[in-house]
Structure 1
């Protein structure tokens, strides 16, 4: 399991860097064009993911920041949340060429680092982006056990709404962390979506108990649930007991069209609800094939670094480096940092 933690962190970075390609692939909304680029490069087996062509994006920088805060092992509450604030502020200084989010960065700038509650930002009904989800996988690594669900939920929600203080945004953080914990538990993948749906009412109860902007949160709550309900119905996964059903054909063009159809504003994977959804869809369809996962989860005409960072992490938890060409990860930017954080997160779980 300690090796799986390391692989989870490293392959999250690979999925990010691969989907990002220095912005060239992230901002190309035509998946067929990207796949043609990939073909010219020799396919997944030949991708040497390293600087300068393959930097990690803001996703990995802020995932590292989240993990570093968790590794301080501070108690859940304001002390831990301020640690997130400090680490996110540090991460915000490492954004040159990484295309940071337009919601994330202004809110990180609003943190009052000398105030014990300086991590709180105003409610924002437009804070629906994927910036909270893309950095939350390590929360599932830190709180992986079923009996730790409350801790996972609390930390995912509070760290998420530090920048994306809207349910569509911070519930993406919850989904990302929850699915990572399911991967650690070896929970069958077809059951993950139902598990999320069972957790959402608990998250709403937490919001009510926390007492911050309850009316605003309730008013904006339903979108995330409705979108996930529709997705699970589409895939035949509402009972969590059946294998998913995919349309035929479901190639590059069809996947792009589907990813766009579930998006908030036409860019699949750019929002809190659909980034984990598309990563989950890719993971369901890829089984244990790294190459197929890359084709579905990292190489598409949407926000592919943000879907890739999650899909890569989950693959690493469940399959390690099985089937992953060494050239994909051996020279990854921040590989050593990600490796050390994976080790440290695993050690913390052994102390709980």
Structure 2
């Protein structure tokens, strides 16, 4: 893949996360019926919702994705400390939206990320949320070797989520990204990585679970939307109009679809609405240069 195409795919992935986040942020915690009554069908980035977002404002999904990307760019060989520094700086900015597990970890971190994640799991009684999946895309974009992608996917997940299901899902996600960056079709890439798992049924029929923040539920719905949609626009609109944890499911599915379609094929009205687009542009350029340097 030439550099211009690589940049287009990487930029598309980052914008895909942000668009799914900004569109879905309006309907987070709503039911599909509530969304239908209020919007008919939500197709535009209008803000509002439980977080009172400005149109085009993003939430923790995009901002933590940028933290992971910036940390990798700062120290590609060993990015954990750099990623962690950016997590803490973002947390100190008092963000509107932050998940329970991540809030607990960032609020109690005392020098050891894995220990903080373990203690959060023990004290909360769970850590299988979707917060490490929503931010893991930069790993698949930055590294050229699968062994590095898998290693860093697990590492960034374990910094906040002490649950093997989160590890495994982040790895599967970025293995799909790896295939997409090597020219595979979106459905083909998803099928190849999901075959034989409990998630395979979600490719054919709607998942029989709520679109919740539980990693298993979120991944099923994100896969369903990404696999069955006819366009990028369809992917993120499906997520937004199902409600539940719609910003995160939209970000997860939107990231995959964005890598596949590339920035040049995304709806420009969506791209132009995103308030952090200058940051996304800068990170996309630098991630592309890093990825290209490994080749």
TM-score (norm 1): 0.72
Match of 2:232 among 290, 312, 328: 290
Query: Does residue 187 of structure 1 match 2:181?
Result: no
Shift of 1:279: 1.3
Matches of 1:325 and 1:187, distance apart in 2: 22
Count of residue correspondences: 279
Per-residue CA shift, 1:162-196, capped at 9, x if unaligned? Answer: 10011123333223322222222232334445544
* Cα contact 1:10–1:313 (8 A) shared by 2: yes
Query: Does residue 230 of structure 1 match 2:198?
Result: yes
* Cα contact 1:48–1:328 (8 A) shared by 2: no
Relative to 1, partners in 2 of residues 1:179 and 1:271: Cα closer, same or farther, differing over 3 Å? farther
1:157-306 map, 5 Å: 157-193=154-190, 195-196=192-193, 229-232=197-200, 234=201, 245-246=204-205, 255=206, 258=207, 261-262=208-209, 267-287=210-230, 289-306=231-248
Per-residue CA shift, 1:110-168, capped at 9, x if unaligned? Answer: 3334xxxx22225326110001100101111012x4xx111111111111011001112
Matches of 1:286 and 1:197, distance apart in 2: 17
Match of 2:262 among 288, 312, 320: 320
Query: Does residue 120 of structure 1 match 2:121?
Result: no
Relative to 1, partners in 2 of residues 1:36 and 1:334: Cα closer, same or farther, differing over 3 Å? same
* Cα contact 1:85–1:111 (8 A) shared by 2: no
Which residue pairs with 2:277 in the alignment? 335
Matches of 1:179 and 1:276, distance apart in 2: 13
Which residue pairs with 1:309 in the alignment? 251
* Cα contact 2:16–2:259 (8 A) shared by 1: no
Match of 1:7 among 6, 12, 24: 12
Per-residue CA shift, 1:32-82, capped at 9, x if unaligned? Answer: 321443337xx52x4456962442111111111001001113313xxx211
Matches of 1:37 and 1:182, distance apart in 2: 39
Matches of 1:319 and 1:190, distance apart in 2: 12
- Compare 169-178 and 151-160 and name the one that shifted more: 169-178
* Cα contact 1:269–1:306 (8 A) shared by 2: no
CA RMSD of aligned residues (A): 2.5
> Which structure has the greater CA radius of gyration?
1
Shift of 1:106: 1.4
Per-residue CA shift, 1:275-322, capped at 9, x if unaligned? Answer: 2331111011013x1332123223213211111112212222111246
Which residue pairs with 2:3 in the alignment? none
User: SS in structure 1 opposite 2:25?
Assistant: helix
Per-residue CA shift, 1:83-123, capped at 9, x if unaligned? Answer: 1211111121234322x11101111233334xxxx222253
Which residue pairs with 1:348 in the alignment? 290
User: SS in structure 1 opposite 2:100?
Assistant: coil
* Cα contact 1:127–1:168 (8 A) shared by 2: no
Which residue pairs with 1:150 in the alignment? 147
* Cα contact 1:14–1:309 (8 A) shared by 2: yes
User: SS in structure 2 opposite 1:135?
Assistant: coil
Which residue pairs with 1:17 in the alignment? 22
